[in-house]
Amino acid sequence: MLAKTPRLGADDSVSADASPVAEGIYLDNAATAPLDPAFAEAMSRVACERFGNPSSRHDLGLGAERELRLAREQVANRLGLAEGTVVFTSGATEALAIAILGCGRARRQPGHVLISAVEHAAVRETALMLTRDGHEVEETPVDSDGRVVLGELRSRLRPTTFLVAVMHVNNEVGVIQPVGRIARAVKRERPRCRVLVDMVQSFGVLETDVVALGVDMVAVSAHKIHGPKGVGALGLAPGVTVAPLWSGGGQERGNRPGTENVPGVVAFGMAAAIGKGDPERFRRYGAKLLAAIRDISPQAQPLVEERYRAPHILTVTLPGLRSEVVVNALSERGLWVSSGSACHSRRSLRSRVLIAMGVDERQGAIRLSFGRMVSDADVDQAAETLRSTLVELS
Ligand SMILES: Cc1ncc(COP(=O)(O)O)c(C=O)c1O
């Protein structure tokens, strides 16, 4: 259960009549996970007490630099990377842009980029920017579970393919891609081709060892694992370099110049060390909520087969119901879930992911996603709310 917290006014001061955040159960942790209060405290401490510029050579600067180094180690550990190959950014979108646009810029000749058909807009739209420089961007298809079809991907590799981007866990449906196998297949045929993996949804839940998986570049984000928004990182496997998008003071070894967001990065490090939560607990929660939904809507189906599904994301079809109607009805009853990707639900666009999977996207679907702050009691109450709401809507 989320506590009632006073909301800060637009001027950042706590105003007496500011409307409080409503109480409810938050099962939309794939969109963003609530900030851990301990991280907020650490951010405040670092911002106030360790405010030095990490590039300054006096005590305060060195203190801030130490904070940065510890956070880098924490993120690197979670990625199985040695310190120094983690580049802090303003989020995963920026990390992906450095990787994608950097790879494009590093080429003298136009080439070919392959992305999966279920990538987040941060990969797809950024890759499409490369077409302005004459590069070709192609999508490789997925099966009905949303998994990349390896043979199809292999058959699309060309001598000019310089980048393959496949996400680890899909944010809309939770499908896990076999990124290790994909990387091996790509490297076997095109050893110089870079493999980029968007690990935003898997980081802190699944194994994300960059070296063991054999991928070159990964992007991760703090706010999906109870850290702050606007902080992320690009992880680079040993020997992999990128061309920075801009230049400046040389921070982040020149890969992402600009004075570092030390408080945010410190909280990101703490979040990376702790992770998003226990996968086994998430599986239990998913099973309980699916059973509750099926009590009322027996035809409801998970969109992804259990063995391919990440434990913390469960998207369930609701035949005969519209997603927005269900999401709104649940929200009115204090249960916050999503109809898929947050941006799709806002703009009511057709979901590219569902289309790629061959799912009739006119049928309703809701996404339930878990994090460390969801309790057993929350899930019991959510199951009750799902039952009563579906009874009313049916
Ligand atoms: C799979 C995926 N990739 C990338 C992003 C973008 O991350 P950020 O919000 O840190 O820019 C998100 C966030 O919604 C995501 O879910």
Q: Is the pLDDT of residue 345 over 90?
A: no
| Predicted pLDDT of residue 83 | 65
* Nearest Cα to Cα of residue 114 among 171, 144, 159: 159
Closest atom of ligand 1 to CA, residue 167: 1
User: Residue 256 is encoded by which pair of tokens?
Assistant: 């992402």
Mean pLDDT, the chain, as a whole number? 92
CB 97 near ligand 1, within 6 Å: no
What is the band of 21 on the pLDDT scale with cuts at 50, 70, 90? Answer: low
> Given ligand 1 and candidates 87, 120, 265, 352, which is best to mutate, with the most ligand atoms within 8 Å of its CB?
120
pTM for the whole structure: 0.94
Which residue, judged by its Cα, is nearest atom 12 of ligand 1?
200
173 in contact with ligand 1, CB cutoff 6 A: no
Residue with tokens 């405010």: 51
CB 153 within 8 Å of CB 190? no
* Statement: residue 13 has pLDDT above 50: no
Find the mean pLDDT for residues 313-325: 94
Ligand 1 binding pocket includes 174 (Cβ within 6 Å): no
pLDDT band at 10 (very low <50, low <70, confident <90, very high): very low
Q: From ligand 1's centre to the CA of 92, what distance in Å?
A: 6
**Residue 171 CA to ligand 1 centre (angstroms):** 8
Nearest to residue 167, comparing CAs of 379, 310, 312, 378? 310
Confidence tier at 364 by pLDDT (50, 70, 90): confident
Distance 61 CA to ligand 1 centre (A): 31
Q: Token pair 């806002």 is at which residue?
A: 346
Q: Is the CB of 120 under 6 A from ligand 1?
A: yes
Q: Which of 196, 200, 234 to mutate to test the pocket of ligand 1 (most atoms within 8 A of CB)?
A: 200
Give residue 361's pLDDT band: very low, low, confident or very high (50, 70, 90). Answer: low
Q: For residue 322, what pLDDT is reported?
A: 92
pLDDT (average), residues 86-110 = 97
Query: Each residue of 228-276: pLDDT tens digit?
Result: 999 999 999 999 999 999 999 999 999 999 999 999 999 999 999 999 9
Cα 384 to ligand 1 centre (Å): 31
List Cβ<8 Å contacts ≥24 apart for 316-319. Answer: 316/290, 316/365, 316/366, 316/368, 317/359, 317/363, 317/364, 317/365, 318/293, 318/363, 318/364, 318/365, 318/366, 318/390, 319/363, 319/364
* Catalytic site includes residue 343: yes
pLDDT given at position 390: 98
Query: Does the beta carbon of 200 sit less than 6 angstroms from any atom of ligand 1?
Result: yes
- Which of 43-57, 185-199, 282-296, 343-357 is predicted least confidently? 343-357
Q: In which residue are the tokens 């993120």 written?
A: 75
Query: What pLDDT does 23 receive?
Result: 85
Provide the pLDDT confidence category of residue 2 given band limits of 50, 70 and 90: low
